[in-house]
Amino acid sequence: MRNKSELDQAYAFCLNMAKSHYENFPVASILLPKTLRHPIAVIYAFARTADDFADEDNIPAEDRLRLLNSYSQYLSEIADQSYVGNDPIFLALQDTVHRFNLPIQLLEDLLIAFRQDVVKSRYTTFNEVLDYCRFSANPVGRLLLHLQGPSTQQQLQQSDAICTSLQLVNFYQDIVQDYTEQNRIYIPQDELAAIGIDEANLIQADTIILAPLLRSLYLRTEQIMSEGLELGSSLSGRLGWEIRAMTLGGLTTLSALIQQPDKALLNRPRLSRRTMIGVILNSAFKTRYKQITDRLLAT
């Protein structure tokens, strides 16, 4: 059993890491119940550091995989309560897992996605991209629901829809950045080939040619997101508010992508501070949230 001082320091380390980064992940959000801020920061720290391993191109792939495998080993030790290391992330994670009875497999699923990032950078079909999201995004939402208590199967499925669609929106915002910085393309290769676009000239391609494909992807993403919109309204309190804000923020960003002219589709839309404040305030009320999401889906 770790003493309180050790755990306090470990949680503080994770919270500081969470506060020092910007992500769509609801890190240290003022909307979250105070009781959940520390455990969410711990999950974030775990995912952030593992993701950094996967993205560290100056480290050989086999070494990155070895680091990710060490995280899997630590998870196994946490599962059988045999972890005796001093890494603050895993000290705090061990406490969080056992206090909230979190399924270790959800954390392992994230590692599956990070390993995939090391060895795979192209996706042949849209279904392959969705399968990647099943490991890279959906576990985050399910972990968040586990922190607040039991969830219905419908809520878990709605969470998957929201997380997958948020991940897809992130991909479509970062097409140029993902390709130039990480050599990753999340637009299905078969659909690019069908319109005669070679990946070598993807970011130089005439977006007028790309537009029908990108708009098709946007509409598919919108449909997936629509299947999860009721999740936030089914949850009470500050967690429900947080999830409504995340969802409305994602739908607002997707709407901004859809509204861009064809010639600007590879540009990353930026939501203004005013817009984001509006997202937060409008998400506070379930009826207002529904009105706005219905309106965005109708446009």
Burial of 235 (0-12, 13-18, 19+ CB in 10 A): buried
Distance CA 75, CA 72 (A): 5
Q: What is the pLDDT of residue 183?
A: 92
Is pLDDT above 60 for 84? yes
Q: Give pLDDT, residue 147.
A: 94
Q: Model confidence at 202, in pLDDT bands (50, 70, 90)? A: confident
**Tens digits of residue pLDDT in 68-80:** 999 999 999 999 9
Measure the CA–CA gap between 19 and 27, rounded to whole angstroms.
7
- The reply to whether 1-119 and 121-299 are identical in fold is yes
121-158 residue pLDDT tens: 999 999 999 999 999 999 999 999 999 999 999 999 99
Domain ranges of the chain: 1-119, 121-299
| Model pLDDT, residue 298 | 86
- In sequence order, the 6+-apart residues with CB closer than 8 A to the CB of 174 are 268
| pLDDT tens per residue, range 152-162 | 999 999 999 99
Counting other chains too, the contacts that 91-94 makes at CB distance below 8 Å and 24 or more residues apart are: 91/2, 91/6, 91/7, 91/10, 92/7, 92/10, 92/11, 92/13, 92/14, 92/38, 92/42, 92/45, 93/42, 93/43, 93/46, 94/2
Fold of 1-119: Farnesyl Diphosphate Synthase (1.10.600)
Of the pLDDT bands very low, low, confident and very high (cuts 50, 70, 90), residue 7 is very high
Residue 70, sorted as left (phi over 0), alpha (psi -120 to 50) or beta, turns out to be: alpha
DSSP summary character for residue 187:
S
Residue 54 has pLDDT above 70, yes or no: yes
Is the domain covering 121-299 a CATH 1.10.150.120 domain? no
- Summarize pLDDT for 243-299 with one digit per residue, the tens: 999 999 999 999 999 999 998 889 888 889 899 899 999 999 999 999 999 999 988
CB 134 within 8 A of CB 164: yes
Range ranked top by mean pLDDT from 21-25, 29-33, 140-144: 140-144
Residue 50's Cβ-count burial label (10 Å; 0-12, 13-18, 19+) is: buried
* Burial class of residue 172, CB neighbours in 10 A (0-12, 13-18, 19+): buried
**Element of type H or E holding 285:** none
Contact 195, 188 (CB under 8 A): no
Model confidence at 29, pLDDT cuts 50, 70, 90, reads: low
pLDDT, averaged across the chain: 92
